[in-house]
C-alpha cells in the first residue's frame, strides 16, 4: 500500500479533483430521488404548480451529477494511466541495476509478468477503487442518513440490510484472496513455459518433443483455468446474491413502507425515494464487492512489483566514487616483493604497454555453487596488447568477462581497471571504458545502423561502414537496404556468423580502453576468423584486447595466453612458450589438430601454425 501511495503522491492534486468529481456524481444520484419524492408528495396533495420548478431542479442536479461522472471518469483514467506508466518505468529502471544473480532470482518470464500484467492489475484496481470503492462509504452514510430522516424504522431496515450484505461480501472476498495469489503465480508459469516453447520451437520439433511440450503447456493452462473458474464461481455467487437482495429490499420497503404510509408515519413519495436509496446503496456495494475481488490480487501484484522496485541490487554503485581507494590498492599491489622482484623488465613493459585491466589474486564462487568457479586468478590486460584466455568448456572463461564488466563481484581479491578497483567506480563509468562482444551475439529489433549505434549514438555512417569492414561484415553492402536493413528481434534473420560480425562491429563503433571478445569468432569460418583478427590488430592499437576463445588458431598470435582449467591458471605465455611448457595447452592444441585432420581441413586456416 505504501508503494501505491508513493506512486500516487505526485498526482495528489489530480486524485483530489477525481474524488471531488466522483462525490458530485454520488451526491447527485441520491439527491434526484429525494427531489422526486418531494415532487410526488407535493403533487399528491394537489400542489401541481411545484412540478415544473422541481422538475427543473431535478434536471440541473442530473446535469451536475452527469458532468461529475464524466469528468471523474476522465480524471480517474488519466490518474491511473500515469501511475501505471510510472510503475512500469520504475520496474524497468530497477531491472537495469540488476546483477546477473538478481536476474536469475526472478527469471525473465516473471519479470515480464510483473512489468506488464501485474502493473495492469494494479492500474485497473486503482481505477475501479476510485470509481466504485471510494464512493461506497459516502453513498452508504448519505443514503442511510436520508432514510433515517424520512423514517426511523425504514432507516433501520436499510442499515441492517446493508450490514448483512457487507458482511457476506467481505467473507467471499477473503475466501477469494488465496486463489488470486495462485492465479498470479500460474500466469508467471504460463509465461515461462510459453516463452520456452516459442523460443525453443526448433529443438522441440527436431527432437519430436511436441507432445511432451504440449502436455506441459496444457498443465500450465489448466492450472490457470481451474483457479480462474473457482474465482468466477465466487464472483457469480456474489452477483446473484446481490441481485436477490436488491429485489428482497424493494419488496421489504414496499411492504413495510406501505404500512408506514397507512399509519401516516410517512408519505407516499418517500417510498419511491427509499427504494431508490436501497437500489443505489446495494448496487454500489455489489460493485464494490467486485472491486474487492480485485483488491487482494492487486495487493499481491503490488507486493511483487515492490520486490523488484525496492530490491537492493547485489551489485551497487559506491556511495561516493572513491578513486583513491582503488588507485592505492593498485599501487600497494605493485609494491609487493614478488612484483618488484621481476624488476626492470616489468617496468619497461609497464611503460610501453600500461595495464588497463588487472585481476589480482581474484577468486570467485557463485552463491549457489559448492566450489570456486575461479581461483586465485592474477593477470593483466595491457594497452596495445592482446590477452587471450583459452580452456575447456565450463572452465570459467566467460565468468572472467562478467567479472570485468561487474555483472558479478569477486568473492575474494580484486578486479582493477586503470588501477582502480572496479567496486569503487560507478557501473556506468566502468562500462564506459569497455566494449564487449557477448558469447551469444544478441541484436535488437530495428535496423543494422541502430544496432551499431549502440556503441556510439553519434557515429557517422562512414564510421559504421568502417567498423563493418574491420569486422568482415561486407555482406551488409550487398543487402538492398545496406545499413537500414531490418534486424529481427535477437537478430534471427541473420546467420550465426553474420550476427557475430555485426556484434563485433557494434563493439568496434565504441571507442574503448578494453575490448572483450567472448568466444566471438566461434561461428566464423577459419579464413574469415584469420582476416578479422588481422584487421583487428591494425584497428585496435591503443587499447587492450581480451579474447576468450575455444580455438587455438584464434589466439595463436596473442601477446599473452592464459590457459584455464577448473577455474585455475594452468599456464601463461605466448603460443610458442606454452607449446613447450604447458601440458594442458599442448593437449588442447593437439586435440584441435586431430579434429582438423579428421575433418580433412588443410593448413590454410591457421592450424598449421598451431601444429608447429
Which parts of this chain interact with ligand ATP (CB under 6 A)?
Answer: 104, 366, 368-369, 373, 391, 393-399, 439, 519, 550
Please, what is the minimum distance in Å from the beta carbon of residue 321 to ligand ATP? Answer: 28
Rg (CA), the chain: 36
- Asked if residues 250 and 242 have their Cβ atoms less than 8 Å apart, the reply is no
**Which SS3 state, helix, strand or coil, does residue 485 take?**
coil
Please, what is the minimum distance in Å from the beta carbon of residue 403 to ligand ATP? Answer: 9
Nearest by Cα to 77 from 10, 17, 138, 24 = 17
Nearest CB to ligand ATP, comparing residues 175 and 440: 440
Nearest by Cα to 336 from 364, 362, 363, 360 = 360
Nearest CB to ligand ATP, comparing residues 102 and 519: 519
Please, what is the minimum distance in Å from the beta carbon of residue 439 to ligand ATP? Answer: 6
Nearest CB to ligand ATP, comparing residues 105 and 353: 105
**At a CB cut-off of 8 Å and minimum separation 6, what does 556 contact?**
575, 606, 609, 610
Please, what is the minimum distance in Å from the beta carbon of residue 111 to ligand ATP? Answer: 16
Please, what is the minimum distance in Å from the beta carbon of residue 188 to ligand ATP? Answer: 20
Phi-psi region of 357 (alpha: psi -120 to 50; beta: other; left: phi over 0): beta
Please, what is the minimum distance in Å from the beta carbon of residue 304 to ligand ATP? Answer: 22
Please, what is the minimum distance in Å from the beta carbon of residue 130 to ligand ATP? Answer: 43
Nearest CB to ligand ATP, comparing residues 192 and 349: 192
d(CA 238, CA 310): 36
Please, what is the minimum distance in Å from the beta carbon of residue 407 to ligand ATP? Answer: 10
Nearest CB to ligand ATP, comparing residues 550 and 586: 550
Nearest by Cα to 171 from 300, 292, 282, 302 = 292
User: Per-residue DSSP letters for 395-413?
Assistant: SSHHHHHHHHTTSS--SEE
Nearest by Cα to 87 from 310, 265, 257, 270 = 310
Sheet containing 514-518: which strands, arranged edge to edge? 434-437, 514-518, 544-549, 386-390, 560-565, 568-573
Q: Scanning the structure block, which residue is given the C-alpha cell 485497473?
A: 124
Nearest CB to ligand ATP, comparing residues 276 and 372: 372
Nearest CB to ligand ATP, comparing residues 373 and 387: 373
Nearest CB to ligand ATP, comparing residues 327 and 365: 365
- Reported as half-sphere exposure (CB side, CA atoms, 13 A), residue 245 has a value of 26
- Asked if residues 558 and 530 have their Cβ atoms less than 8 Å apart, the reply is no
Please, what is the minimum distance in Å from the beta carbon of residue 401 to ligand ATP? Answer: 8
Nearest CB to ligand ATP, comparing residues 344 and 368: 368
**At a CB cut-off of 8 Å and minimum separation 6, what does 588 contact?**
390, 391, 392, 552, 563
Amino acid at each position: 500500500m505504501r508503494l501505491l501511495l508513493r506512486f500516487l503522491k505526485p498526482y495528489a492534486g489530480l486524485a483530489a479533483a477525481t474524488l471531488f468529481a466522483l462525490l458530485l456524481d454520488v451526491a447527485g444520484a441520491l439527491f434526484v430521488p429525494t427531489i422526486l419524492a418531494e415532487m410526488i408528495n407535493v403533487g399528491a396533495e394537489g400542489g401541481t404548480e411545484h412540478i415544473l420548478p422541481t422538475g427543473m431542479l431535478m434536471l440541473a442536479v442530473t446535469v451536475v451529477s452527469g458532468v461529475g461522472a464524466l469528468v471523474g471518469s476522465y480524471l480517474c483514467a488519466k490518474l491511473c494511466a500515469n501511475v501505471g506508466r510510472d510503475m512500469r518505468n520504475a520496474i524497468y529502471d530497477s531491472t537495469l541495476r540488476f546483477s546477473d544473480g538478481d536476474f536469475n532470482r526472478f527469471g525473465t518470464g516473471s519479470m515480464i509478468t510483473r512489468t506488464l500484467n501485474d502493473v495492469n492489475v494494479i492500474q485497473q484496481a486503482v481505477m475501479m477503487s476510485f470509481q466504485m470503492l471510494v464512493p461506497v462509504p459516502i453513498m452508504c452514510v448519505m443514503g442511510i442518513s436520508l432514510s433515517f430522516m424520512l423514517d426511523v424504522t425504514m432507516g433501520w431496515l436499510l442499515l441492517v440490510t446493508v450490514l448483512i450484505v457487507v458482511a457476506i461480501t467481505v467473507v467471499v472476498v477473503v475466501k477469494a484472496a488465496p486463489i488470486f495469489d495462485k492465479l498470479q503465480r500460474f500466469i508467471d508459469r504460463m509465461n515461462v513455459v510459453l516463452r520456452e516453447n516459442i523460443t525453443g520451437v526448433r529443438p522441440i520439433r527436431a527432437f519430436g518433443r511436441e507432445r511432451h511440450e504440449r502436455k506441459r503447456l496444457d498443465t500450465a493452462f489448466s492450472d490457470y483455468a481451474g483457479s480462474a473458474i473457482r474465482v468466477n464461481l465466487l464472483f457469480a455467487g456474489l452477483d446473484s446474491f446481490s441481485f436477490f437482495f436488491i429485489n428482497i429490499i424493494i419488496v421489504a420497503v414496499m411492504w413495510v413502507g406501505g404500512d408506514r404510509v397507512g399509519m401516516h408515519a410517512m408519505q407516499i413519495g418517500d417510498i419511491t425515494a427509499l427504494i431508490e436509496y436501497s437500489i443505489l446503496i446495494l448496487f454500489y456495494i455489489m460493485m464494490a464487492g467486485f472491486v474487492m475481488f480485485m483488491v487482494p490480487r492487486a495487493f499481491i501484484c503490488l507486493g511483487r512489483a515492490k520486490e523488484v522496485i525496492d530490491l537492493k541490487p547485489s551489485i551497487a554503485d559506491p556511495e561516493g566514487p572513491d578513486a583513491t581507494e582503488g588507485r592505492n590498492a593498485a599501487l600497494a599491489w605493485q609494491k609487493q616483493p614478488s612484483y618488484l622482484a621481476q624488476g626492470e623488465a616489468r617496468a619497461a613493459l609497464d611503460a610501453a604497454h600500461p595495464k588497463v585491466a588487472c585481476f589480482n589474486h581474484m577468486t570467485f564462487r557463485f552463491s549457489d555453487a559448492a566450489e570456486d568457479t575461479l581461483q586465485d586468478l592474477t593477470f593483466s590486460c595491457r594497452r596495445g596488447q592482446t590477452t587471450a584466455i583459452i580452456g575447456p568448456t565450463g572452465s570459467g572463461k566467460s565468468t572472467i568477462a562478467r567479472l570485468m564488466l561487474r555483472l558479478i563481484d569477486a568473492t575474494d581479491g580484486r578486479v582493477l581497471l586503470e588501477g582502480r578497483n572496479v567496486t569503487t567506480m560507478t557501473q556506468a563509468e566502468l562500462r564506459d571504458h569497455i566494449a564487449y562482444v557477448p558469447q551469444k551475439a544478441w541484436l535488437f529489433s530495428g535496423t543494422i545502423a541502430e544496432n551499431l549505434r549502440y556503441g556510439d549514438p553519434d557515429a557517422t555512417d562512414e564510421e559504421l561502414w568502417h567498423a563493418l569492414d574491420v569486422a568482415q561484415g561486407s555482406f551488409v553492402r550487398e543487402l538492398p537496404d545496406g545499413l537500414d536493413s531490418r534486424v529481427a528481434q535477437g537478430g534471427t534473420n541473420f546467420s550465426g556468423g553474420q550476427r557475430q560480425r555485426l556484434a563485433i562491429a557494434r563493439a568496434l563503433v565504441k571507442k574503448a580502453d578494453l575490448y572483450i571478445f567472448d568466444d566471438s569468432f566461434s561461428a566464423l569460418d577459419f579464413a574469415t576468423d584469420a582476416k578479422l583478427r588481422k584487421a583487428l590488430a591494425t584497428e585496435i592499437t591503443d587499447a587492450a584486447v581480451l579474447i576468450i576463445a575455444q580455438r587455438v588458431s584464434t589466439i595463436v598470435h596473442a601477446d599473452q595466453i592464459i590457459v584455464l582449467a577448473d577455474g585455475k591458471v594452468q599456464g601463461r605465455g605466448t603460443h610458442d612458450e606454452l607449446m613447450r611448457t604447458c601440458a594442458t595447452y599442448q593437449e588442447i592444441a593437439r586435440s584441435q589438430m586431430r579434429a582438423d585432420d579428421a575433418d580433412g581441413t588443410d593448413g590454410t586456416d591457421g592450424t598449421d601454425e598451431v601444429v608447429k
